[in-house]
Amino acid sequence: MSAGRSALRMGPAELVQAAAMARRFYLEGKSKIQIAEEFGVSRFKVARVLETALERDLVRIEIRVPAELDAERSDALRARYGLRHAVVVESPTEGEDESPDPENLGEVAADLLGELVTEGDVLGLAWGRSTIHMAAALDRLPPCTVVQLTGVYDAGTAERGSVEAVRRAAQVSGGEAHPIYAPMLLPDPATAAALRNQTGIARAFEYFDKVTVACVSIGSWEPGISTVHDMLSDEERAHYASLGVAAEMSAHLFDADGRRVGRDLGERCITVEADRLRRIPEVVAIAGGQRKAAAIGAVLRSGLVTSLVTDTAAADYLLTESRPAPRPALERADPDD
């Protein structure tokens, strides 16, 4: 608090009283009723004095968040897309980590999950670099069960990917872990169906309907930005591109309007079904970067995501894209209906 030039227009007694009331209210946390009793005035008088103190610069209020968080963009993004939570972090500066989903997104998402997950929840983690970064950054979670929502990019790297992310989250929370030891994409539907019936994988699938908070990644349909894109043959990529695919999430493909395309691919994948994702109360997507911005918008229009952790580069695109504002994400509406 400081006495500004305009505040000097108040008399000395008013200044002293206003400063004292402001100190009680803003610094000591006392209620207006308590202040009124102390000074022998009405609580309405206290309210007027506090308002005058703000107007005349006797009190200055600053809203400060950590430098890496952009509160203004976060709130604008939440409002435009009807999200429950939107957290925007500063994009890396030139010369720093300019890859999609830089690690700081995972770190912020880890803090967000620490807020969202409550004791007894079932936390679902899908494959993705950002979710792996998030799990590595976790340092607090209440006791909860952790289940893997998709197979892995390469079963040979499971120890460094989704399986390890599930184990890490369960270790931090002290809860049970239900990993899936299987590739995400199989050669044909029959092989995928056989794997889904295996005991360990079937047990994990049984938890899908119990998931209360899920964490997913988003990919755009180009090399190095979508795990599924990179797993397919050139012919298959061209086929799905011809269907208008613009984004991928957990092996589900979406066009620019958020409608699902190429549904046959899901028959070959070990992944949580889209309808099950839509029923999960809280689905947090972690994705950022200019190269993923349009894909993020497509997935937000799908009605499958309720919250987003992203960066300023993607947020600026999402806030200025020419497409009409989508239906609120919290409606969980399916664009195909």
Domain check: are 50 and 193 in the same one? no
Domain check: are 41 and 159 in the same one? no
- For residue 114, give every residue at least 6 positions away whose Cβ sits within 8 Å of its Cβ, in sequence order, or none: 138, 139, 140, 141
Domain check: are 20 and 77 in the same one? no
User: Is residue 1 a part of any domain in this protein?
Assistant: no
Cα distance between residue 203 and residue 266, in whole Å:
19
User: Is residue 185 a part of any domain in this protein?
Assistant: yes
pLDDT at 336: 83
CB atoms within 10 A of CB 4: 12
Token pair of 177 as six digits: 């872990």
Partners of 283 in beta bridges = 214
Token pair of 105 as six digits: 């997104």
The one-letter amino acid at 270: I
Check whether 274 has a pLDDT greater than 80. Answer: yes
Token pair of 311 as six digits: 């960066």
For residue 291, give the DSSP letter: G
Provide φ and ψ at 264, rounded to 5°: -60, -25
Domain check: are 95 and 37 in the same one? no
Check whether 337 has a pLDDT greater than 80. Answer: no
Provide φ and ψ at 275, rounded to 5°: -65, -35
pLDDT digits (tens, 9 = 90+) for 37-58: 998 999 999 999 998 888 888 8
Range of the domain at 283: 69-331
Check whether 95 has a pLDDT greater than 50. Answer: no
Judge whether 126 and 227 are in contact, CB under 8 Å: no
pLDDT digits (tens, 9 = 90+) for 190-241: 999 999 999 989 999 999 999 999 999 999 988 878 878 888 888 999 999 9
User: Is residue 61 a part of any domain in this protein?
Assistant: no
Judge whether 275 and 302 are in contact, CB under 8 Å: no
The one-letter amino acid at 103: E
pLDDT digits (tens, 9 = 90+) for 24-35: 998 888 999 999
For the chain, the first-to-last Cα distance in angstroms comes to 55
- For residue 177, give every residue at least 6 positions away whose Cβ sits within 8 Å of its Cβ, in sequence order, or none: 145, 146, 147, 166, 167, 169, 170, 171
Q: What is the CATH number of the domain that holds 44?
A: 1.10.10
Full-model pTM: 0.79
Domain check: are 44 and 78 in the same one? no
User: Is residue 6 a part of any domain in this protein?
Assistant: no
User: Is residue 27 a part of any domain in this protein?
Assistant: yes
Domain check: are 277 and 137 in the same one? yes
Domain check: are 17 and 137 in the same one? no
pLDDT at 7: 40
Check whether 5 has a pLDDT greater than 70. Answer: no
User: Is residue 64 a part of any domain in this protein?
Assistant: no
Cα distance between residue 254 and residue 246, in whole Å:
6
E strand or H helix that includes residue 161: none
Domain check: are 51 and 84 in the same one? no
User: Is residue 62 a part of any domain in this protein?
Assistant: no
Check whether 96 has a pLDDT greater than 50. Answer: no
Name the least confident of 9-23, 154-168, 211-225: 154-168
Domain check: are 127 and 223 in the same one? yes
Name the least confident of 116-120, 151-155, 210-214, 216-220: 151-155
Domain check: are 126 and 226 in the same one? yes
Domain check: are 141 and 228 in the same one? yes
Q: What is the CATH number of the domain that holds 304?
A: 3.40.50.1360
Three-state secondary structure call for residue 117:
coil
Q: What is the mean pLDDT of residues 150-166?
A: 70
Domain check: are 52 and 100 in the same one? no
Number of independent structural domains in the chain:
2
Cα distance between residue 306 and residue 273, in whole Å:
16
User: Is residue 63 a part of any domain in this protein?
Assistant: no
Check whether 67 has a pLDDT greater than 60. Answer: no
